[in-house]
Amino acid sequence: MSEESHKSQRDSLQDHLAAACKQYQLEFDSGEHPKTETYLATFAQVHHGIALSQLLRLELKLLQQMDAEPSKEEYSKRFADLAAVVDEVFSAASQEDASTKEKTGTGTAAFSGSSLLPGAKLPAGTVVGEYIIESVIAEGTFGIVYRARDQQLDRAVALKVAKPFDQDEVDQAKLFLEEAQTAAKIVHSGIVTVFGCGEVEPGVPFVAMQLVKGDSLDMAMKDGPIDWRDACQLAIGITEALAHAHHADIVHRDLKPANILLDTDGRPLVADFGLAIHYEHQPNREHEVAGTAAYMSPEQIRGESQWLDGRIDIWALGVILYEVVTGRHPFRSNNKIKLAEEILSREPWPMRQINPHIPAEFEKVVKNCLRKEVVEQHSSPCLLTLLVVVAIFGAIGLAIALSPKRP
């Protein structure tokens, strides 16, 4: 095998490890209890040793932050075939803990990759590159979003600062910055603009973005279902943005209400291309499972990342449209395994049985977005936009035809 082929395999494995660790932490931070075995199963058998080493290091660090005391014996039983790896990881963790205590004089583990502790907020007035922190906007599983001011252009921006990465998570910090650079290449009025990126300090990357005044769609949905006509307007705005991204060979992969921002006029802007992938990079993402489970397409659930295209974003939009007009999610299980089974094999409850005011034309558009077989799904956001417009005029025309005639 050539040196170039070896490098390609190493890069692919590193990408897979970085994505797995990122998704694991997202699940953990959201209050769930991810199973290391599930993530390990996505790697080839020959890579189980290095994968377990990375995943277990991350798991121990997260548990220690919660003052939990993981048992090496328990892990040795769970991973009997890789007991040597378990011993190595626990030994390294013990040595790092002893070193930390010696340096700090305490029994509290200090963060080794950055002077910022996970979850620590930057105070107002902190200078980050050319930006000055003003206040906290929101906190998420992956970091904190601040309102900041661009000193050079004197404009307000949203500054997303990632949670600090440890010294052995250099690849994840690099991935964060690469994702920001990918998003910066997409310029469209319906997509949140990325202005720049960098590091607060080594291991703590940030990305500066357009500040959108308004709420996210998931916040708006808390007031209950929205009118199907408003949902059509949302769909048109979102599909136009997706069409632009897809034309640039970029797939979002994590479209959901939390990643759709509504400005003060109710206009949608697609945000957070953190899991976006370029067409050229797909062959290196085989078996990678990335995204938010409830909005994943069947092919995402199956881990067919090397074959994904823009149709997964259209699937996610179908889930969103179903949800905003019915007030229910089309796939409702709280159990991840059962949820995956629903997405793969069960048809959603008919929308018009939940909300009879939804026109049949609109229901048909959403139903076609949620076809299980890829070949049956809408292949283009532009086509979907056209079908939504047709649905609007079809429903309006029917309403006029059925309305009482004037004498």
Listing DSSP states for 149-208 in one string gives: EETTTTEEEEEEEEPPPPGGGHHHHHHHHHHHHHHHT---TTBPPEEEEEEEETTEEEEE
Please check the confidence at residue 271 and state whether its pLDDT lies above 90: no
Mean pLDDT of the chain: 77
Where does 213-350 have alpha helices with state H?
217-220, 228-247, 298-301, 311-326, 336-345
Tell me which architecture the domain covering 127-210 has in CATH.
Answer: 2-Layer Sandwich (3.30)
- The per-residue pLDDT for 163 is 74
| CA distances in angstroms from 169 to 25, 176, 356, listed in the order given | 12, 11, 51
- Read off the pLDDT of each residue in 124-152 and give the average, rounded to a whole number: 85
Please check the confidence at residue 32 and state whether its pLDDT lies above 60: yes
- Read off the pLDDT of each residue in 19-30 and give the average, rounded to a whole number: 82
- The per-residue pLDDT for 105 is 42
Give the pLDDT band of residue 46 (cuts 50, 70, 90). low
- The per-residue pLDDT for 197 is 86
Please check the confidence at residue 164 and state whether its pLDDT lies above 50: yes
**Residue 113 DSSP class:** S
Q: Amino acid identity, residue 105?
A: G
Please check the confidence at residue 43 and state whether its pLDDT lies above 70: yes
Give the pLDDT band of residue 279 (cuts 50, 70, 90). low
More confident residue, 293 or 377: 293
78: left (phi over 0), alpha (psi -120 to 50) or beta: alpha
More confident residue, 85 or 231: 231
Neighbour-count burial for 315-324, b at 16+ CB within 10 Å, e otherwise: bbbbbbbbbb
Which 3 state secondary structure label does DSSP give 248? coil
- The per-residue pLDDT for 71 is 85
- The per-residue pLDDT for 52 is 84
Neighbours of 60 (CB within 10 A): 20
d(CA 215, CA 83) in angstroms, rounded, equals 49
- Read off the pLDDT of each residue in 52-74 and give the average, rounded to a whole number: 82
- The per-residue pLDDT for 108 is 32
Residue 163 tokens read as 């949670």
Residue 236 tokens read as 């048109």
Give the pLDDT band of residue 109 (cuts 50, 70, 90). very low
Strand partners of residue 160? 145, 207
More confident residue, 387 or 310: 310
Please check the confidence at residue 91 and state whether its pLDDT lies above 70: yes
- The per-residue pLDDT for 355 is 93
- The per-residue pLDDT for 403 is 39
Give the pLDDT band of residue 354 (cuts 50, 70, 90). very high
Please check the confidence at residue 214 and state whether its pLDDT lies above 60: yes
- Read off the pLDDT of each residue in 220-227 and give the average, rounded to a whole number: 91
- Read off the pLDDT of each residue in 198-215 and give the average, rounded to a whole number: 85
Please check the confidence at residue 147 and state whether its pLDDT lies above 90: yes
Please check the confidence at residue 375 and state whether its pLDDT lies above 70: no
- Read off the pLDDT of each residue in 241-265 and give the average, rounded to a whole number: 88
Question: pLDDT > 70: what percent of the chain?
Answer: 72
- Read off the pLDDT of each residue in 28-34 and give the average, rounded to a whole number: 80
Give the pLDDT band of residue 225 (cuts 50, 70, 90). very high
Asked if 287 and 43 count as a contact pair (C-beta separation under 8 A), the reply is: yes
Give the pLDDT band of residue 111 (cuts 50, 70, 90). very low
- The per-residue pLDDT for 401 is 38
More confident residue, 111 or 2: 2
Give the pLDDT band of residue 2 (cuts 50, 70, 90). very low
- The per-residue pLDDT for 289 is 58
Please check the confidence at residue 371 and state whether its pLDDT lies above 60: yes
- The per-residue pLDDT for 54 is 81
Q: Would you list the domain boundaries of the chain? A: 3-103, 127-210, 217-402
Give the pLDDT band of residue 407 (cuts 50, 70, 90). very low
- The per-residue pLDDT for 322 is 96
Domain 217-402: which CATH class? Answer: mainly alpha
Backbone angles phi, psi at 133, to 5 degrees: -65, 135
- The per-residue pLDDT for 400 is 35
Question: pLDDT > 90: what percent of the chain?
Answer: 19
Give the pLDDT band of residue 119 (cuts 50, 70, 90). low
